[in-house]
Amino acid sequence: MRCLLALLLLPLACAALRTQSLSTSRLVGTADMPLLIVNASQVGQPLRLLTGPGGATTGLELSSVGDVTIPLRLGVGSGVGAAGWERLRVGSLQATGGTGMTIDLAGTDSSTGLRLQQIGASGSMHAGLVITSASNGLGTGIRIGGPPSSGRPSLGTGIDIYGGTGLRYNALTDGGATAVVIGATTPPRRGIDVTVAGTEHVGGMFRSNMLGTGIVGVSMSGSYTDPGHVPRVGVRGAALTNSAVAADITIGVLGESVRGGLGGSNTTSIGIDALAQSMGSNNGGLAIGLRASAQTSLQGRSAAIGVLVDVAPEQGLAFAARRGNVYLGSDTFDVPLADTFTNGIMVNRSVTRLYDARISGMLGLVAPTSRVFMRPYAQGQVVLEWPARPAKVGSGLRVAGVRADTMQLAWTGGGDGMNVVQMPFNIPLTVNTKEEEIVRIIADNGGSWLAGLNPGQHGVHVTIMVVQGILTIMNEGFAAAEQDRIITPTLDAIVLNAPGYASFWYDGADHRWRLIRVTP
C-alpha cells in the first residue's frame, strides 16, 4: 500500500522538476484491491512499457484516451509466442470445444466483425486469409451456420463476393477430390442460381477431357443410384423413377425456345439444335446429328415411339428434310451405302403408314433383280381413289369411274378360272361371270346359245372358254337384258366349238359387251 501511495504521490512531488522516475526490479501489489498504474499528468500523455537493452524498445503503449498499441508481436496462450514475421499468434487452445477468437456483433446491424483490406499482389503462397490443415484432407476450413439443433443459426448470405474471380479451386492432384458439394446432408431448393451479363457471357462453362462427361443432370427417385459413367459426352440427362402415378411424365433432357412480343422478321426458334461432324481426313465412320431410341418392358402395356412430332397442320410441317435422302427401311438388296453406314443403318423390313402421300418425282418398286418406276402425270392434277384389297387372286386394277380430277379405281376379274357354267340345249341364257376374268362353258353337244353376260362395268374384260360342245354367241340377243347384251364384229351370231374361246370388253358408253377376240 505504501508503494502504491508513493507512485501516486511521486508526480506531485516532482511536478516542479517536470520529471517522473521509478527505479525498481519488482512491483508487487499486496493489498486486496486492484493494482493501479496511473499517468495523471495535467496534459494527457500515454503510458508506455519499455523493454530491451537500455529500455529502448516499446512493448506496450496506452494512449491518453485508453487505446492500446503493441508495436511488435503478440502471443496469446500459455507458452505461445509470435514468430518474427507474425504480429499475432493465438494457440494453446483446449483440445475439445476451444475457440481461438470470438467476435460478437450482438446488437449491431451495419458492422463488420473482421476486415482484411489493402491486399496487394499475394503471389501463389499468400492471400488475405490463408487456412491450412495439420495434414492433407483433414478438417474443415470454414463453417458457416449449421443445422437447426447445432446452436449455429444460419446466415442470410454465407459469402458475398464482388469483382475478380469469385471462387477458385484446385485439387491437390490431377483428377482428385470434389470441388463443391451442395446438399449432401440437407438439400437446398436450388443448388446454384447464376445470372450473367456482358459480351459473350456464359452461365456455366464445364469442361472435361475425352475420358469424362461435361455435365450430368439427373432427376431420380430413391430407388436408383447415379447412372454409370459414359465417356466422351458433353451433356447427359437422365430421369429415373419407379413411380406408379397415372399420366406421370419423365424427361431426360428438355429443350425449349419461346419467342413472344412483336417478334421480328425471318426469325428462327430452335428447341434443340443437334450437329455432328466427322471431319478427319482419314476418318471412317458415321456422323449422326440426332439419335433417338425407345424401349418398353415385355411385361408392361406400353408402346415405344422413337420420335414423336406434334405440329398443327395449319402452322407448318411435322418433319422436313432440307437436304439429303430419307431412309425408312428396306430389304437387304436396297440398303443405301451399306459399306459406310455399318454403325447406324441396317436392314429394316418395317412398315410405313401414310394417310396422304404426294410424290413429285418417281415412285420406285425395287426387287432383288428388277425395278419398276412410276412417274406422275406431267400436266394437271389426277387423284386416284384406291379400292380395298382384292377378293380374288389375279384381279386387275381398272378405272371404274371419273369424277372431276378424281379417278375411282376398282378390282376386276381374277380368280382361279374355276367358274364353270353348264348350259342347256338350244335355250338362250345370260351367264353370270361372278366378276372373274375367265369363265369355263360346258355347252350341249347339240348346241347352246349365249345371249349376254353380267354384271357389266366399263372397262371389264372377260374371256369364256368352251371346254365341251358347241356354243353360239348371239348378236344383240333378245333373251338378255339391254345392258347385258353382246355386239359381235359381224353383227351376226358367231359359233365356237370346243376348245375355242372368246374375249369380251364392256363398253360403258353403249352399255354393251363387245366381242374383241375369237378363236373358234
> What tens digit of pLDDT does each residue of 228-271 get?
999 999 999 999 999 888 888 999 999 999 999 887 888 999 99
Q: For 108-159, give the DSSP string.
A: -SS--S---------TTT--SS----SSTT-S-S------TTTT-PPPS-S-
CA distance 452 to 254: 71
Number of continuous H segments (helices) and E segments (strands) in the chain:
1, 22
Q: For 295-339, give the DSSP string.
A: ---TTS-----S------TTT--S---SSS-------GGG-TTTT
pLDDT at position 3 is 42
- Cα 122-124-127 angle, rounded to 5 deg: 40
For residue 185, give the nearest of 156, 155, 143 by alpha carbon: 143
Mean pLDDT of 265-285: 87
CA 82, 85, 88, 93 dihedral sign is negative
Biggest CA–CA distance in the chain, Å, is 178
- Cα 481-483-488 angle, rounded to 5 deg: 95
Residue type for 344, please?
Answer: G
With cut-offs at 50, 70 and 90, classify the pLDDT of residue 338. Answer: low
With cut-offs at 50, 70 and 90, classify the pLDDT of residue 7. Answer: very low
More confident residue, 339 or 116: 116
C-alpha cell at 213: 462427361
Residue that the C-alpha cell 437446398 belongs to? 188
Question: Which residue pairs from 280-284 have beta carbons closer than 8 angstroms and sit at least 24 positions apart in sequence?
Answer: 284/340
Mean pLDDT of 324-338: 82
More confident residue, 378 or 334: 334
* Buried/exposed 215-228: b ≥16 CB within 10 Å, e otherwise: ebeeeeeeeeeeee
- What average pLDDT does the structure give for the chain? 86
For residue 496, give the nearest of 464, 463, 472 by alpha carbon: 472
pLDDT at position 342 is 63
> Which value, in Å, is the radius of gyration of the alpha carbons in the chain?
52
CA distance 485 to 109: 113
CA distance 417 to 463: 10
| 201 alpha carbon, distance to own chain's centre | 23
C-alpha cell at 164: 475478380
pLDDT at position 156 is 85
Range name among 108-117, 269-278, 405-414, 486-495 with the lowest pLDDT average: 405-414
Q: Decide if pLDDT at 399 tops 50.
A: yes
CA distance 520 to 511: 25
- DSSP secondary structure code for residue 4 in this structure: H
Mean pLDDT of 441-466: 92
Whole-number percent of the chain with pLDDT over 70: 95
C-alpha cell at 447: 348346241
3-state secondary structure 476-488: CCCCCCHHHEEEC
pLDDT at position 488 is 96
Q: Decide if pLDDT at 69 tops 70.
A: yes
448-454 and 428-432 beta bridge pairing? parallel
For residue 88, give the nearest of 99, 72, 104, 102 by alpha carbon: 72
CA distance 452 to 487: 9
Cis peptide before 313 (omega within 30 of 0): no
Q: Decide if pLDDT at 4 tops 70.
A: no
Q: Decide if pLDDT at 2 tops 70.
A: no
> What tens digit of pLDDT does each residue of 82-111 get?
998 888 999 999 999 899 899 999 999 889
Q: Decide if pLDDT at 180 tops 80.
A: yes
For residue 390, give the nearest of 356, 408, 413 by alpha carbon: 413
Q: Decide if pLDDT at 33 tops 70.
A: yes
What residues pair up with 233 in beta bridges, in sequence order? Answer: 213
Whole-number percent of the chain with pLDDT over 90: 39
First to last CA, the chain: 163
Residue type for 77, please?
Answer: G
pLDDT at position 431 is 95
For 405-489, list the strands marked E by DSSP: 406-412, 419-422, 428-432, 438-442, 448-454, 461-468, 470-473, 486-487
CA distance 415 to 426: 29
Taking CA atoms, 509 is separated from 92, 432, 459, 506, 513, in Å, by 120, 21, 10, 9, 11
Cis peptide before 368 (omega within 30 of 0): no
More confident residue, 96 or 5: 96
Range name among 17-21, 59-63, 71-75, 221-225 with the lowest pLDDT average: 17-21
For residue 330, give the nearest of 354, 343, 348, 318 by alpha carbon: 348
Give the SS3 label for residue 17.
Answer: helix
pLDDT at position 20 is 62
With cut-offs at 50, 70 and 90, classify the pLDDT of residue 37. Answer: confident
